[in-house]
Chain A
Amino acid sequence: KAGVTQTPRYLIKTRGQQVTLSCSPISGHRSVSWYQQTPGQGLQFLFEYFSETQRNKGNFPGRFSGRQFSNSRSEMNVSTLELGDSALYLCASSWTQLVAGIYEQYFGPGTRLTVT
C-alpha cells in the first residue's frame, strides 16, 4: 500500500502570494488532517477533512483554507502569504474502526514552504 504523498516537497514563495499544497491519503482512508510545524510554535493542527467536509478547524486565520475531493485527496491553500507562514506543512490520513477501538494515522513527508 502506498503511503501518504504530498506535493510539492519544497516551495519558495514571495510575501503576498498564495500557495496550494496537495495531499494524497492512503487508499481507503477518508480522513485527512493538516498540520503546521515550525521551530517556534511546534506542531499545530490546521484542519481535518472527512468525506469532503471540514470536520474541524484549528486556530488559524481565514487565509488558511482547505478542501477535500471525492477521491479523498486534499488541498490546502494559504493566501496573502506572510513571512511567518514559512513552515513544514504536514498532512496525515487516518482510519478508524470505532467498534474495535482501532485508530491509525499516517503522516506524509511534508511540504517545506519558505516565504521570502
Chain B
Amino acid sequence: GQQVMQIPQYQHVQEGEDFTTYCNSSTTLSNIQWYKQRPGGHPVFLIQLVKSGEVKKQKRLTFQFGEAKKNSSLHITATQTTDVGTYFCAGGRGNNNDMRFGAGTRLTVKP
C-alpha cells in the first residue's frame, strides 16, 4: 500500500542555519499537506500542494512538490527558535482520500 517516508527523523540546528525535511512516497500522490506540531500541541496545517513541480513560499518556508508527485520537501531559511517542533507531511490520493502521514521530523534550534 501507499507509504510515505520522511527524513530525517531528527534535526538539531543552530539558530540562523537552514533546515530541510523530505518526504517520499512509493506511489503517486494527488496532493501533499505539511503540518507543524509543537510539543504538547496539536498539528497546525501549513500548506497543501497539488500540482506537479509546484513551489510555494510562506515567509522563510519553501515547499516543493516533485515533478512525479512522489516526493516533497519543506525548507526553512535562517531558522529561529520559534521554528521548533515536529514537521509532518501527509500524502493523499484524490481529495485527501486515504491520507498517509510521514513519521515527522523533529526540529530543535539552539539559540
Residues of chain A whose beta carbon lies under 8 Å from any beta carbon of chain B: 33, 42-45, 48, 55-56, 58-59, 90, 92, 94, 101, 103-110
Q: Cβ of B103: which chain A residues have Cβ within 8 Å of it?
A: 42
Q: A43-B88, A43-B90, A44-B101 are in contact. Are A107 and B96 (CB under 8 A)?
A: no
Q: Apart from A45-B101, A55-B95, A90-B43, list 5 A-B contacts with CB within 8 A.
A: A45-B99, A48-B96, A101-B50, A104-B45, A106-B45
Q: Cβ of A104: which chain B residues have Cβ within 8 Å of it?
A: 45
Q: A101-B50, A103-B48, A105-B33 are in contact. Are A45 and B42 (CB under 8 A)?
A: no
* B99 and A58 form a contact (CB under 8 A): yes
* B45 and A45 form a contact (CB under 8 A): no
CA gap between A106 and B11 in the complex, in Å: 26
Q: How many A-B residue pairs have CB under 8 A?
A: 48
Residues of chain B whose beta carbon lies under 8 Å from any beta carbon of chain A: 1, 33, 42-45, 48, 50, 88, 90, 95-104
Among B44, B100, B101, point to the contact of A107 (Cβ < 8 A). Answer: B44
**Residue ID in chain A nearest B99 by CB atoms:** A45
CA gap between A94 and B98 in the complex, in Å: 15
Q: Cβ of A33: which chain B residues have Cβ within 8 Å of it?
A: 96, 99
A112 CB, nearest partner CB in chain B, Å: 11
A1 CB, nearest partner CB in chain B, Å: 15
